[in-house]
Structure formats: C-alpha cells, structure tokens
Amino acid sequence: MAGATCVPQFSTLTVRFNAGAGPSNFTASNFTVTGPNGNVSGAATFDTATNTATFIVGPGGRQTPEAFGAVTTYTATINGFSGGPFTWSFSTGPCNEVIPAYSASYTQIDVPGASHTNAFGINNLGDVVGEFADANGTHGYLLTNGVFTTIDFPGANKFTRANKINDNGDIVGEYAAPNGVLTGFLLHAGTFTSIAFPDPNVFATEANGINTAGTIVGRANFTNSTAHGYVRDPNGTFRLFDAPNSITGGNFAKDINNNGDIVGVVGGNVVGYIATGGTSFTTFNVPTSGDTEANGVNDTQQITGLWTSSNKPLSGFFKSGSTFFDVVVPDSTNVQAQDTNNTGVVVGIFSTVEGSAAGDHGFIARPR
C-alpha cells in the first residue's frame, strides 16, 4: 500500500509480520496514522494468531462507519516490531467517480471557540448563516465580510439555528421554545417572529428557506408521525406543500429562489425534487446513489444537496442542468452541500477525524 493513490475512504490498514516480530504488549501507540491536521482517530489492534496489525478509523465525526478524509495524503507508522519502525504514505480518493468533482477552492468556516460550526445558507451578497455550539448551547450566526454575529431567538432553550438568508438580509431558522418545542422563526430588520404551522396536530415547525419576496418554505411535523412541506406566503398564509404521490413520513421543502422555484425531499424513496414556479414537480437523484436530498437552489435552478453511496461516505452534490458534480472538501470524511448563490458559491458542512480539528466545520466553495 506504500505510495498508493486513490485509496477508498472506507479502508482498513493491515500489515502482516513474521512470527515473533510483534511487541510483547501492543498498544495504540504502536500503529498510528497522521494527516494534515494531526493524528487520525482510530483503533489499532494486533492479532498474534495471524501476526497482523490492523488500524480502523474512528470514532470521530457524526457519521458511521468512519472514513479517511477525501483527496488527502496520510502517513502510517508502525513501531515496536522487529526491524522497525516502518513508515509509508498513501493518498485517498475519490477517483473515477460516477460524477465529476466540483472544481472549486475551499475555505473552512469556524466560529472562534465553537465546538462545531455548520454553514446552511448563502445569499447573493455572500452573507453566510448557520449554527455553532459552545458551552452555553447551540446558536445561530451571520457571517458578513469576515465578521461573525451571534443569533439567539429571545428566550430560546439553548438552541437556535439559522438556515437561510435572502438578499434583503432576512433570516429564517428554528429555535427550541422554553418547553423544548422546535419552532421556526423569521428575523427581519432586527425583529424576531415565530413561525409555527397553524394546526393543533403539528408539534414542530422548521423554517428552511426564504426568497426576496418573503415567501418561506419548511417542514411541519405532525403528531401522527407524518411530515409535510409547507409554504408561508408573505401575507402570513400557510399551505401544505408535498410532491405528488409522496409518502408523508419524510416530506419537506428546503429552499425557494426568487422565481418561486422550490426544492426539497420526497418521503419514501428519499429523492430530491424541484417544483418550478412552485407547481411543476420534477424529481431527481444522483446516478447510482442510495438517497438524494436537495437543500438549496439559486435563481438559475442550480441545486445543492447530499447523496449516499455504498462505497463512500455521505457526500455533497452541485447540480447544474442535468449534470451532477461531487462536492469534495479536501480532508473531509463526509460532506453536506447546503446552499448556493447565483455565482455558484456553495456552503455546507464537512467532518474530519484528525487531531484537534476532529468534528464538524462549515465550508465555502468558490468555483474556479
């Protein structure tokens, strides 16, 4: 494996030795792997019956099984064995994927002092919104010209998340009410308004997207274990919004652009959809994917989202016309592409399993 390239992210490192070459007391320090951000979290073992040392990635980020970071060079070191130490390097993929990589330069987003940072929305001015966590709970944030501003719904129970921002600076998201109920919100000109779907059978409301007209889309969770997308018109009128023939267990609307096009997820098979003008539905999925979820849409119907595959970690996508691109953040173990603006700048979340950098981070991908 020394010098290998395009190594799958889901890989187990194994080295077999001659009998009697191993240490009398094997510990994790005898088999280590390092990447750009330090030691990789993992479990190292030695099987005396087969004289085989093994390294398995994890635990680390929120997705299991764990994986090595994408398009990254790692160095593995084994010591304490006869003839050692032994050191070699290898580089991960993905390579020769079913969809090409999105050509972009990537910038990591971290709120100072946060234990994790997620980026969920970007407008055409380049303002970014998302969430971060610290010792006092989870908070929303606005990132403008390199400056972070914390967003906390007044009286929230230690949870506020900012999901999307329009070109007027209006922000939507959700917060935990004092009784713990998840409730949507609109932040307009410094004033918060709660967004709750008006049905006594709804126990939670998410506000996921907003356009410049002030139309809001989201998800309403009902007590009978169903979930529906909804649209809230600028006059405050709510209506349910589901793709035709969808199973009601997992429907939601994730974003709306300035032309009224809505994207979201169809429950059941878990495929993405775009409803042009809010009426004409088209479903889609990344080729060979398991699940496909649409998270964001710009005014030219370029779409961002996430997709799953059996041979790689959770991945992000950028869709332009009928062409899908894989959003591959360097050194990432999984990626979620959450939104894009009219210049094709993508924001989202990635995870890594290395050293002090282990955990979730936001990212901005600027197309090349």
Domain ranges, ordered by start, for the chain = 13-91, 104-367
Mean pLDDT of 63-75: 77
State residue 347's pLDDT score.
Answer: 98
Pairing of strands 334-340, 323-327: unpaired
Mean pLDDT of 21-25: 81
Q: Tell the burial category of 117 from Cβ atoms under 10 Å away from its Cβ (0-12, 13-18, 19+).
A: buried
pLDDT in tens, 171-189: 999 999 999 999 999 999 9
Q: Measure the CA–CA gap between 92 and 8, rounded to whole angstroms.
A: 6
> For domain 104-367, which architecture applies?
6 Propeller (2.120)
49: left (phi over 0), alpha (psi -120 to 50) or beta: alpha
Mean pLDDT of 270-279: 94
Contact residues for 336 (Cβ-Cβ < 8 A; gap 6+): 295, 306, 314, 316, 348, 349, 350
Question: Is 63's pLDDT higher than 50?
Answer: no
pLDDT in tens, 118-147: 999 999 999 999 999 999 999 999 999 999
| Other C-beta atoms lying within 10 Å of the C-beta of residue 234 | 11
pTM over 0.75: yes
State residue 191's pLDDT score.
Answer: 98
How does residue 5 score in pLDDT terms, banded at 50, 70 and 90?
Answer: confident
State residue 355's pLDDT score.
Answer: 62
Mean pLDDT of 21-42: 87
How does residue 356 score in pLDDT terms, banded at 50, 70 and 90?
Answer: low
Q: Confirm if 292 and 307 have CB atoms less than 8 A apart.
A: yes
